[in-house]
Structure 1
Amino acid sequence: MNIVLLEPEIPQNTGNIGRTCCATGTKLHLIEPMGFKINEKSVKRAGMDYWEHLDVTIYESYEDFLEKNPNAKIWMATTKGPNRYSDVKFEENDYIMFGKESAGIPEEILVENQEHAIRIPMNPQIRSLNLANSVAIVLYEALRQNDFAGMQMEGHLRKYDWK
């Protein structure tokens, strides 16, 4: 799987998303401009000691991202989307894009990708969920649909065995 952040603004969100990507074997794609420098302590603190294991690529612009990923199947996660994220079929190498925290994905991009615009259902009084939470919700659904390929499926106790 691939997570794409279009112009992320809050370093703690990007750090948390980076940690989620490490935990799931997901690639992270960051599209500039960003509201922080990628080497900021707050990004690495949120990602904890996992940041060095993150597969991350940074792009100069949305156009640069498209040019370098010409065959990408991109799902656009947005509060404006007509399709529920749980109703679409994710494939193993899909890209799931999320917009910046203050404005989301620009409408001119969404209108060109309506069939791939997905949303997380929520109460109408709420504008949006936290970006890191939204990424986790959609990513884990995509992974579930692909039977959590390559992931550890059971935990282990330190001092005891499961019966």
Structure 2
Amino acid sequence: MPFHIVLVEPEIPPNTGNVARTCAVTGASLGLVHPLGFSLEDRYLRRAGLDYWPEVRLKEFYSLDDVYRHYAGHRFFYFSAHGKIRYTDVRFRPGDVLVFGKETTGLPEDVLRANADRVLRIPMRKTLRSLNLSNAVAIVLYEALRQNGFPDLV
């Protein structure tokens, strides 16, 4: 069972394209929660994803509740610069859902509050706000894959 990446209201087409490419090469699925800050036909989105789009298992959602229904029974982890738990302190399992917020504001405060014990952070300098979204996804996804022996990857 693969990992599932969910981007909540992503705004920047090349970031989402890069995440799509990472999902394609790792076998992770990609869920996009509307509204999106771009069209899925955007040329920058397509260019960032190269010719990998046919390999992306893409699912569109119209709310986080839709995501929760679709992945009922799966474990969810949320990512925020304000998380108290380092992403390396968690043992990820195939099937986990890794949820990232929009580039400008991250995940909604109510989501972070309701899931405080599953909000993870990537360590970085205190003086800077955040990592690029596609880099953050890659860092976390590859750690999850590493912990599980890089299943089905060569």
TM-score (norm 2): 0.96
What is the deviation of 1:68?
2.1
RMSD value, Cα: 0.7
- In structure 1, stretches of 5+ residues that fail to align are 153-163
What is the deviation of 1:117?
0.4
Aligned residue identity for 2:29: K
- Other-structure match for 1:132: 134
TM-score (norm 1): 0.91
What is the deviation of 1:71?
1.5
What is the deviation of 1:66?
1.4
Aligned residue identity for 1:121: P
Runs of 4+ in 1 over 2 A off after TM superposition: none
Matched residues, percent identical? 45
Secondary structure at 2:10 match in 1:
coil
- Other-structure match for 1:123: 125
Q: How many pairs align?
A: 152
Partner residue of 1:18 out of 6, 17, 20: 20
Moved more, 130-139 or 68-77: 68-77
- In structure 2, stretches of 5+ residues that fail to align are none
What is the deviation of 1:72?
2.3
- Deviation digits for residues 13-62 of structure 1, max 9, x if unmatched? 00000000011011001100110011111111000000121101000111
Partner residue of 1:32 out of 31, 34, 56: 34
The answer on 1:54 being equivalent to 2:56 is yes
Larger radius of gyration, structure 1 or 2?
Answer: 1
